[in-house]
Structure 1
Amino acid sequence: MKNIFTSIFLLVLVLRPIICQATIDSLSNPAKATHYNLVLIVADDLGYGDLGFTGSTQIKTPHIDQLAADGVTFTQGYVSSAVCSPSRAGFITGINQVEFGHDNNLGGVEPGFDPEYNGLPLTQQTLADHLNKLGYVNGLIGKWHLGKEAKFHPLKRGFDEFWGYTGGGHDYFESLPDGKGYKEPLESNFKTPDPITYITDDVGNESVDFITRHKDKPFFLFAAFNAPHTPMQALEEDLALYQHIEDKKRRTYAAMVHRLDLNVGKIMKSLKDQGLKENTLVVFFSDNGGPTDSNASINAPYRGQKGILLEGGIHVPFVMNLPGLLPKNMVYQEQVTSLDIVPTFLALAGDKDTDRNMFSGVDLIPHLTGKTAPLANREMTWKFTISRAIREGDWKLVSIPDRMPMLYNLSDDPSEQNDLALKNLDKTAYLLKKLGVWDVNLPHPVFLEGAVWKKRQLGLYDHNYQVTQPKTK
């Protein structure tokens, strides 16, 4: 017995400094010890091929490239819609937005529709709503675009702090007290917004401020940049870096992406400086593909653009970074979707009560850490106004009103150059029926965008798209 007490005494002497140091570390940095922080960085209308890690030969994006190198890049990352508002409705709820009627882009109220429903339906809970129940502080910095009526406001949808604007875009240099559209005033519930310097910088600075103020609590930061969405406005110092690009719009676009990259770096530096990098999940993607006709973006190697369901409209740069849990420099080649964000974030936040069956996506962490098999041959469906699409394994079918359905095998033809519908009639009929059954079971849209957009979207399927990188460096 005496030997047992002697052994216990010696063990306590050995472990005491370790226990004390662990206690000190926990008290000095409780965030590192007790929870994961969550950061969602969303670019607006960014072209797939316009980042270094996705193959750009013109635009330098060292900070986003480093974020990718330090984490997981998804070669088959998708969003749930080809335009801003429905895409955001999907990834902020974790549910395919057409399943609750958020099919169209938000704009004015069309005749016959009730303005009381002109926003993200109140029947849906947002990621911020879920995280509120888990004690998270939730902040939205930047663009909302899910409803301008008071009841749709982000502060009514789970966010504790909001700095930004509720519309779909903003001027980069100016807001006016009584401004409308892109000149609408900035809002904030925790400070009086300073005059805009350059709004991409301002979103970055406010994101850093949010991290600094809430570093000792579990937090969710939604950094919703509007770059490189129109209007095409850049800083002179950034334009000078790309003066060799002859096309003025492309030069301005490159400068805007450069400034976005600097501010992603600013956010990552803040996490590192606060000792939060290891236990903070950072996700980066674009809300949809680049609108090549309006901002000179390039979606290479994919054909198509914002507004349509070819790969260029929905296949986006996608990165997930969590150094304390996920591997570095991992390239994940199976399909993932922005609809996976909510279930992934909730799992990391420790949620035990929410029924995961309500979500269209899945928790990605087990698939990335090898605890669960890869997400092979995943089925995905899309609908946006006139367009419908389904992907099953490598096969993708796109259906629009004025022609036969289009069928592509993406493993052999990622640029969707070769329509195989007539050569594979059984596959075409199978996917078309599956897509049609899904479509007719969807609810009616709760609001519509202007009818003029339907004709425009149809025409985009016939454009010639650049599917290779430009030769100009």
Structure 2
Amino acid sequence: MKSFLTLVCTLAFSLSPFFAQGEIDSLSQSAKPTHYNLVLIVADDLGYGDLGFTGSTQIKTPHLDQLAASGVTFTQGYVSSAVCSPSRAGFITGINQVEFGHDNNLAGVELGFDVEYNGMPLSQKTIADHLNKLGYVNGLIGKWHLGKEPQFHPLKRGFDEFWGYTGGGHDYFESLPDGKGYKEPLESNFKTPDPITYITDDVGNESVDFIERHKDEPFFLFAAFNAPHTPMQALEEDLALYQHIEDKKRRTYAAMVHRLDLNVGKIMQSLEDQGLAENTLVVFFSDNGGPTDSNASINAPYRGQKGILLEGGIHVPFVMNLPGLLPKGLIYNEQVTSLDVVPTFLALAGDTETDMGIFTGVDLIPHLTGESAPLADREMTWKFTISRAIREGDWKLVSIPDRMPMLYNLAEDPSEQNDLALQHIDKATYLLKKLGKWDVNLPHPVFLEGAVWKKRQLGLYDHEYQLKQPEVK
């Protein structure tokens, strides 16, 4: 049935010169899909500059490049935090996570804090909670990292199916029945997990299986890849492709990104094979910028990395693909954020009951199809432990504890090389007051990670960062 509807839609557009507009509208309305499927693919710790469509010539990513070429590429795509857990809390709720106390990365329980609150607050609804009411089946394959206590489990946060792990990272080759940390066992509520082959492949394969099992009903798939997060582990066949890269860590990283790309291609091919590609919205981004010091990623042309609020920590590769509705090959140059995913998904799913005003983000579809004006000069705010930042139009101010606020004009200086705070003291004062007023109205964090991380984050502002793509021999 879906294939027939897709054919009718295609004919409607191809024959449009021969119909009056009213006839076209009537045909299009009758040929609309019965529902849209929703797929969110998230990479973990991916460097901005490490994909073909973001400028890399060293690492080959043909499947992700095709996803971008046939969809919408956002040149100014942001996430709401510079590290994994708070970023995920933001994009899975559509609300800036610091506004409900999810300011830190999840780790152990610090003294004075209650283990019962060591996860994303139960007061918050997830995208899966919302979609449940609309008849969607919701699946999470891969990483959770929003709480390990039973009350935070994804199956209690709206997901119908879960295959993966609840921690923040995993070994790529092994899990142990009584393992902890990166060796924790995989779990699933719909099958006994097979032994890990290579976890990037396993996430891809389980995602394909989810699509095949639910092809005849509305579904939301969250494919939460581990790659290219540490530990630095790659398949020998992939390492061989990049043997010309002398630095061992960079070589391993490139191989891991290559395998990620193959599995994104596997998911996209499955949608094609099932006749679902035209009416499935696929969104791809990284949960934060690459941690250049730990996985040899490159965020060029942006300065900074995972853990801090310079562009390298929060400006990420970002793509939306929906062939039946969105323009193909569109390069969208206005600011968007991962917080836009939830309202976009809900609007596309036909949600008419949820108050969209509760979300920090907005429905992007009308802005991409021309129904609404471009999202010009958006205001965005960030807070992560020691760092605060605000962007308004082209101006961005970053505030950290050991120096004067830093002010950058991103239109002229996307690499944040020239601090203009003293030259534009009025603009800096204006943005600092605005940021401060927002900050003092935020709730206390509901949990903290160890204080050692704050000192490390501060030091990252003084690192030297690679701002150009590596030369390819």
TM-score (norm 2): 0.94
Aligned to 1:428: 428
Within 5 A, what are the aligned runs for 1:221-232? 221-232=221-232
SS of alignment partner, residue 33 of structure 1: coil
Within 5 A, what are the aligned runs for 1:376-395? 376-395=376-395
Hey, what's the Cα distance between the residues in 2 that align with 1:323 and 1:281? 8
- Do structure 1's residue 454 and structure 2's residue 454 form an aligned pair? yes
Q: CA RMSD in A?
A: 1.4
Aligned to 1:418: 418
SS of alignment partner, residue 141 of structure 1: strand
Amino acid at match of 1:168: G
Aligned to 2:375: 375
Identity in percent: 89
- Kept in 2, the 8 Å contact 1:302–1:415? The answer is yes
Aligned to 1:55: 55
Hey, what's the Cα distance between the residues in 2 that align with 1:129 and 1:231? 32
Hey, what's the Cα distance between the residues in 2 that align with 1:329 and 1:357? 30
Could you tell me which runs of 5 or more consecutive residues in structure 1 were left unpaired when the two chains were aligned.
1-20
Aligned to 2:304: 304
Within 5 A, what are the aligned runs for 1:61-72? 61-72=61-72
Q: Relative to structure 1, is the Cα distance of residues 25 and 421 closer, same or farther in structure 2, using a 3 angstrom cutoff?
A: closer
Within 5 A, what are the aligned runs for 1:11-410? 33-410=33-410
- Kept in 2, the 8 Å contact 1:211–1:271? The answer is yes
Hey, what's the Cα distance between the residues in 2 that align with 1:276 and 1:153? 29
- Kept in 1, the 8 Å contact 2:5–2:33? The answer is no
Q: Relative to structure 1, is the Cα distance of residues 235 and 429 closer, same or farther in structure 2, using a 3 angstrom cutoff?
A: same
Which has the larger Rg? Answer: 1
Amino acid at match of 1:256: M
Amino acid at match of 1:173: F
How many residues were matched structurally? 449
Amino acid at match of 2:156: K
Q: Relative to structure 1, is the Cα distance of residues 463 and 137 closer, same or farther in structure 2, using a 3 angstrom cutoff?
A: same
CA shift digits 1:358-398 (9 cap, x unpaired)? 00000000000000000000000000000000000000000
Shift of 1:23: 13
CA shift digits 1:90-135 (9 cap, x unpaired)? 0000000000000000000000000000001000000000000000
Amino acid at match of 1:379: E
Could you tell me which runs of 5 or more consecutive residues in structure 2 were left unpaired when the two chains were aligned.
10-30
Hey, what's the Cα distance between the residues in 1 that align with 2:120 and 2:436? 25
Hey, what's the Cα distance between the residues in 1 that align with 2:82 and 2:123? 23
Amino acid at match of 1:353: E
SS of alignment partner, residue 140 of structure 2: strand
SS of alignment partner, residue 34 of structure 1: coil
Q: Relative to structure 1, is the Cα distance of residues 68 and 25 closer, same or farther in structure 2, using a 3 angstrom cutoff?
A: closer
Hey, what's the Cα distance between the residues in 1 that align with 2:142 and 2:260? 13
SS of alignment partner, residue 363 of structure 1: coil
- Kept in 1, the 8 Å contact 2:82–2:307? The answer is yes
SS of alignment partner, residue 33 of structure 2: helix
Hey, what's the Cα distance between the residues in 2 that align with 1:57 and 1:392? 32
Hey, what's the Cα distance between the residues in 1 that align with 2:61 and 2:358? 37
Amino acid at match of 2:66: Q
- Kept in 1, the 8 Å contact 2:6–2:33? The answer is no
Amino acid at match of 2:204: G
Shift of 1:57: 1.7
TM-score (norm 1): 0.94
Amino acid at match of 2:105: N
- Kept in 2, the 8 Å contact 1:407–1:421? The answer is yes
Deviation >6 Å, runs of 4+: 21-26
Aligned to 2:24: none
- Kept in 1, the 8 Å contact 2:5–2:32? The answer is no
Amino acid at match of 1:419: D
Aligned to 2:17: none
SS of alignment partner, residue 64 of structure 2: helix
Q: Relative to structure 1, is the Cα distance of residues 22 and 79 closer, same or farther in structure 2, using a 3 angstrom cutoff?
A: closer
Amino acid at match of 1:212: E
Q: Relative to structure 1, is the Cα distance of residues 208 and 32 closer, same or farther in structure 2, using a 3 angstrom cutoff?
A: farther
